[in-house]
Amino acid sequence: MKMVKVFFAKNLKWFTILFFGLLAVLPFFMTSNYGMRMLTVCMLYVMMAFSLNLLTGFLGVMTIGHIAFMGIGAYTAAILVKNYHWETLPCYLAAILLSGFFGLLLSLAALKLQGYYMTILTLGFCEIVRLVEINWESLTRGALGISGISAPVFFGIRLSSRRSIYYLMLVLLILTLLLIWSIINSKAGNAIMAIREDELAARAMGIHVFKYKTIVFVLSAMIMGLAGAFYAQYMTYIDPGVFTVSASLNILIMAIFGGLGNLLGTIIGASVLTILPEMIRFLAEYRNLIYGILIIILMLVKPDGLLGSVNFKYIRQQASVQKENGGE
Amino acid sequence: MFLQQLINGLTLGSIYALIAIGYSLVFGVLQIVNFANGSIYMLGGFLTLVLYNKFRINFLLCFALALIINGFVGFCLDRFALRHLRQKKATKLVGLITTMGFATVIENFVMLFFSNATVPYPNKIDFGSFSIGSAVVSSTQVIIFLVVLVLLLLMSWVVYGTKVGKAMRAVSQNADAAKLMGIDVNGVIAMTFILSAVLAGISGTMVGMYYQMIDFTSGFSIGMKTMAAAVLGGVGSLPGAVTGGLIIGVVESLGASYISSAYRNAFAFAVLIIVILFLPNGLFGKEKVTKV
């Protein structure tokens, strides 16, 4: 078991590339529409769980209103596509910029606060954004939602087949992973994790806590915004009922279940928790009850999440130290 | 109009205050926000109604029975979930998610076994109304106000005047030190959960009678608003929770009638955000000294 772990940790990069390679060729073997749809939705949730893992797992800032940014991104994209017939790329840019802007506003206020005060503030933000979405009827069509959002268009090419949408999602997911990967493996990443471990000590070491917190907060808001923009065109319909606090909590549960601070865990956690409710669909109206019970059991059995206690970097270091001392 | 809305707001706010105290107590001893409290509030209201409809006996008796069951649910939440997490030294975040899991379970349980629609609620404390100037005050409002007042006095006596309260305060200051002093920390925490669940149950029943209806989704928004009230007053502070509850109730009523009733729930959070930006520890919260 330990050997496997060490081997896996050492070749994590190759495994990752292999994994995404498999995802890339999968559509050629998968014929069922349902399967393709599930995979796309899975990847969307993984992307959002990545965003929360960056914020909660690596920086240690807990928010329960992050889905508000997804809503902002989704509405931006939907309105631009539907009313102004924009192409997808500028739409995505607008969604990213707008959600980033609101992320900046919220972070300037929220990050000055400690712990729960900040968490509750994000909850309030999410509720207010949702109420604006419901009540600003001239722009968002209120509770009816916006329907008939057309499929993504890139440089005049319309991506309407399930397969092309799948690849679009895959590209977005890989870009997100690369972004987060490069952040946490840089000097900034060390600073961010130092802030998570002890904010005061990090400040004493000369780390500009507020700056890093703001940057990470805005980045994760932008990722959520992008995911929202994709969601709007993928579903072709959005309404404010999607962007609720409980939906936000669900994504947080995915990140925690996978293991905070572990990207591989997030992939597994978000996938399992997306597919699980589908698998217990036969329970019909008992589904949510069982889901709640499962969440409680999962938390009691594995409080750290699936891979929260596994640190691949540490395993690699330990293995190389053992190798050096191996001759004795 | 203004006086009327003020009275309505104070009635609502006094109930918020009662639930917010539950949040504050639990936060004091455990440093976690109990997300299930809103659902427990709704469960309390439903239990009274279901027992009353089923057995058709004395309403007060059903009410008392519902409170006992409610307290037991609160006890179970701690005993069978959170205590295990404490023993495993899990992070606070995990405890939080567990309480959310409980909220989902309770809400769906009520939906499946009690009712999935809005049900009418009998108002047993409606003895007519009287008017002050242009405002009409119903007996329901007066009774709610009096009950809350008595309970608040009772709670402050429990927390500041009894041995259990002393133990609670000791645990909230430093659980390890309290344990060394011979305080049964787990017992105190369980007691706190029971108290907060009973308070939530009383509020649930009273709000049911006040609005004369109840539905299984009502717990969530009340839960969030009272959480906001507890934070507004300063987490862990009892006078803070009461003040926060009253402020949010009044602002909500006035905002809904003077600005827009569609944004009813937004006012609570808007006030919260504004106050917290200027007073980062809430109205009555103490500033925490951070040490490495």
Residue B198, pLDDT > 90, answer yes
- What residue spans of chain B are helical by DSSP H? 2-30, 37-55, 59-77, 83-87, 92-113, 139-161, 163-173, 175-180, 185-211, 218-233, 238-258, 264-278
Q: What is the pLDDT of residues B124-165, one digit of tens each?
A: 877 888 888 788 888 889 999 999 999 999 998 998 889 988
Please name the member of B88, B94, B291 whose beta carbon is closest to the beta carbon of A256.
B94
Question: Cα dist. B57→A195, A198, B121, B122, B133 in Å?
Answer: 59, 58, 15, 13, 39
Contact between residue A227 and residue A73 where contact means Cβ atoms under 8 Å apart: yes
Among A53, A16, A91, A75, smallest CA distance to A219 is for: A53
Mean pLDDT of chain A: 85
Chains A, B: CB contacts under 8 A, how many?
123
CA distance A16 to chain B (A): 28
What average pLDDT score do residues A149-155 get?
Answer: 81
Q: Is residue A233 part of a domain?
A: yes
Residue A1, pLDDT score: 67
Residue B150: predicted pLDDT: 93
For residue A328, pLDDT over 60 is answered with no
Any idea how long chain A is?
Answer: 328
Q: What is the pLDDT of residue B245?
A: 92
B10-22: pLDDT as tens digits: 999 999 999 999 8
Give the pLDDT band of residue A316 (cuts 50, 70, 90). confident
Q: Enumerate the H helices of chain A as residue ranges.
A: 2-10, 12-29, 33-52, 67-84, 88-110, 115-135, 137-140, 162-184, 187-197, 199-204, 209-235, 245-258, 263-279, 287-301, 312-324
Q: Given this model, what pLDDT does residue A175 score?
A: 92
- The verdict on residue A284 lying in a domain is no
Residue from the list B97, B109, B272 with its beta carbon closest to the beta carbon of A289: B109
* Residue A126 CA to its chain's centroid (Å): 16
Determine, yes or no, domain membership for A81: yes
pLDDT digits (tens, 9 = 90+) for A162-176: 888 888 899 999 999
List the one residue out of B33, B30, B9 whose CA is nearest residue B227.
Answer: B33
pLDDT of A68 reads: 92
Cβ distance of A121 and B273 shorter than 8 Å: yes
A176 domain residue, yes or no: yes
Kindly give the pairing relationship between strand B135-138 and strand B129-132: antiparallel
Q: Does A291 touch chain B (CB under 8 A)?
A: yes
pTM for this prediction:
0.85
Residue A83 Cα, gap to closest chain B Cα (Å): 26
Using a CB–CB cutoff of 8 Å, tell me whether A197 touches chain B. Answer: no
List pLDDT tens digits, range A48-88.
Answer: 999 999 988 888 888 888 899 999 999 999 999 888 888 88
Mutate to test the interface with A, among B26, B92, B100 (most CBs of A within 10 A): B100
Non-local (6+) Cβ contacts of B272 within 8 A are A120, A121, A124, B228, B231, B232, B248
Asked if the C-beta of B112 comes within 8 angstroms of chain A's C-beta atoms, the answer is yes
Cα-based distances in Å from A122 to A102, B46, B278: 12, 30, 16
Query: What does the pLDDT look like over B214-267, one tens digit per residue?
Result: 988 888 888 888 888 888 888 778 888 899 999 999 999 998 888 888 788 888
Please give the helix or strand (H or E) that residue B135 lies within, else none.
Answer: strand B135-138
For chain A, the maximum distance between any two Cα atoms, rounded to a whole number of angstroms, is 76
Domain tally, chain A: 1
**Residue A109 covered by a domain:** yes
Q: Does a structural domain hold residue A161?
A: yes
Side chain identity, residue B269? F
Question: Considering chain B, what is the average pLDDT of its residues?
Answer: 87
Which of B90, B112, B292 has the CB atom closest to A289's CB atom?
Answer: B112
More confident position, A178 or B32: A178
Complex ipTM value: 0.83
Q: Is residue A276 part of a domain?
A: no
* Residue A297 reports pLDDT greater than 70: yes
Higher pLDDT among residues B121 and A281, named by residue: B121
Mean pLDDT of B75-93: 86
Residue A12 has pLDDT above 70, yes or no: yes
Give the angle B5-B11-B12 at the CA atoms, nearest 5°.
90
| Predicted pLDDT at A176 | 92
Segment of A211-220, B219-228, B279-288 carrying the highest mean pLDDT: A211-220
pLDDT at residue A216, rounded to an integer: 92
pLDDT at residue number A62: 84
A139 within some domain = yes
**What is the domain range of residue A238?**
34-243
Mean pLDDT (whole number) for B39-63? 89
Tell me the domains of chain B and their CATH numbers: 2-278 (1.10.3470)
Distance CA B200, CA B247 (A): 19
Sign of the alpha-carbon torsion through B209, B210, B214, B220? negative
pLDDT of residue B13: 92
| Predicted pLDDT at A72 | 93
The pLDDT of residue A326 is 64
Interface of B with A in 247-266 (CB under 8 A): 260, 262-263, 265-266
A141-150, B78-87, B241-250, B279-288: range with lowest mean pLDDT: B279-288
Query: How far away is chain A from the Cα of B288, in angstroms, using its nearest Cα?
Result: 9
A124-131: average pLDDT: 88
pLDDT at position A220 is: 93
Contact in structure between A265 and A168 (CB atoms under 8 Å): no
pLDDT given at position A48? 92
Residue A307 has pLDDT above 80, yes or no: no
Write down the pLDDT at residue B68.
94
